[in-house]
Structure 1
Amino acid sequence: MYKIPGHHHISMITKNAQINNQFYQKVLGLRRVKKTVNQDDPSMYHLFYGDLTGSAGTELSFFEMPIVGRTVRGTNAITQIGLLVPSFESLEYWKKRFETFDVKHGEITTYAGRAALPFEDVEGLRLILLNNNGEEIPEYWSAWEDSLVEQEHRILGMGAVEITVRYLERTARTLKDMFGYVELVRSENEAIYQSIAGQAFGEIVVKQQEGPSEKPGRGSIHHLAIRVKNEEELRYWDEVVKERGFQSSGIVDRFYFQSLYFRESNGILFEIATDGPGFTADSTVEALGGKLDLPPFLEEKRAEIEANLKPID
């Protein structure tokens, strides 16, 4: 059986790509590694932020939907994104930085067994900085040296992702029995799972909450993508998903990676995505994120697509 080595990326909804672009680059100090469009609806931007090359496990991805309404929070949704920072001193640094930039944030607290600092972006997306405390991170994560954030406090990559569901055991079975995640902690209304035991970069926190399902809008999380190495592994997981009785999208070629999508029993949308070929498939490392990149099948429509998009920095 193949193992899931961690998160690949996570995708959200933004109402305004320009404001989103400013926050994630100028405030959080991430690199915009790809400016492209939603391949299923090329009228909207699809922006990716991450490390130097947008390595799997560092990617925050946003679809721009200018007419989207507000999020009505509820259950059966992905509800928070954890981002790893190097140390407790980093949390103190970020608290001061958030105060400087008037970012909504809480106090330093504890989350999933780590010192943590919760905050929200300009559209109410819930994020939380987590002290990695010098622990191992994937060797291929590469720091972006032009970040506006001081080197010793830069965001490393994704940590614990929180999922809130009506029926915890249903999601637990998907993570444990289907994907082989390790159950780290379990109580009546909360559980923590790791794709690799002892590693924070593949961690999922599942919380049980009754009530109405979340109504997605700006600042909501669309789906979580988890990693596989290559197409062979992806085909294996496609069969596993279908054997479990879930409806699979089948393998979709996204040019920068290959994917499949399915909803588990609480309705949470998961993507399974390959590591490669990556964002340098049509760009040098130095030029990543600088211009509008389109997959080959959309290139012939470039003029039409660009005419429908508002320019962003």
Structure 2
Amino acid sequence: MITAKARAVDGPNKSFRAAEIKRRELDSHDVLIEIKYAGICHSDIHTAHGEWGPVNYPLVPGHEIAGIVTAVGPSVTKYRAGDRVGVGCMVDSCGECENCQNGEEQYCLKGKVDTYAGVDKYGEPTQGGYSTHIVVPEDFVLRIPDNIDLDVAAPLLCAGITTYSPLNHWGAGPGKKIAVVGMGGLGHMAVKIAHAMGAEVTVLSQSLNKKEDGFRFGADHYYATNDPETFNKLAGYFDLIINTVSAKIDINAYFSLLTLDGTLVNVGAPAEPLPVQVFALSSLRRSFAASMIGGIRETQEMLDFCAKHNIVPEIEVISANQIDEAYERVLASNVKYRFVIDISTM
């Protein structure tokens, strides 16, 4: 077994502590990665706090992982020692069902294996990227383009693909009017990506505090949702709305902003249910959908797209001892725009 240093949490109200975890010996198609950076996602916080259901503690979160290959199994063909790679929100799937065969492993009909808080094919709990090393099957490892630094690459493995996938699926591009609800870790990536796709991009944020940043990231318009006039002015305007907010909002008010056949896609994952008024949808044949990351093929496509268009997240690099503080600041919306852990501080 391979020993890795990590930061683990022992319960929903516990602080992170230094820990050692075991990584399996390399199987024939496995890749050993020395992790250099790990992003902090709001999903990490929901899971660590036990807000999405029972958790098998101790837990090592982290599914925005960037590092260097240090060893490979004897049958690995895609990677070799020294390669710059990433790992996102899943580390395995059945590989056999229709969805897996179509490159949609995130929707595996037998259930994907999450990077942390999951159970792998060996029956062992998975532990994530707040650690120095991880072992992953080669088919779930991504190649990081040379012109993207590893620290900014890490959040692309969740925040990047979580926003790229619905924009890609629902056809964001020239002539499309796209709104992004929220300007946090997910939202600022959605703005950058939608702008690069050629869409007209509007940010809908609680206030105008980040308006200057929004325009710098590529937004064409920026409105405050705490102003009731916003909803009157923009009624029936958007083809696609990407809701990145992980808190409960008045979702029906946002439906009114969609045009005929417009779609609102939730990528934020609030712990509370969102009540939906059917008439708010049926009046203009509007749709309410949700999206979850992307498959491995699409994630690599996203990385290459970001490399081509020089798209990287705005980050604040922290040490391993600052994780608890970072969680508090994320919950207080006090980060611009993604925390990334320097794993060398483990």
Q: Taking structure 1 as the reference length, what is the TM-score of the superposition?
A: 0.29
User: Which structure dedicates a bigger proportion of its chain to strand?
Assistant: 1
Q: Taking structure 2 as the reference length, what is the TM-score of the superposition?
A: 0.27
Larger RCO: 1 or 2 (CA < 8 Å, sep 6+): 1
User: Which structure dedicates a bigger proportion of its chain to helix?
Assistant: 2
Bigger Rg over Cα: 2
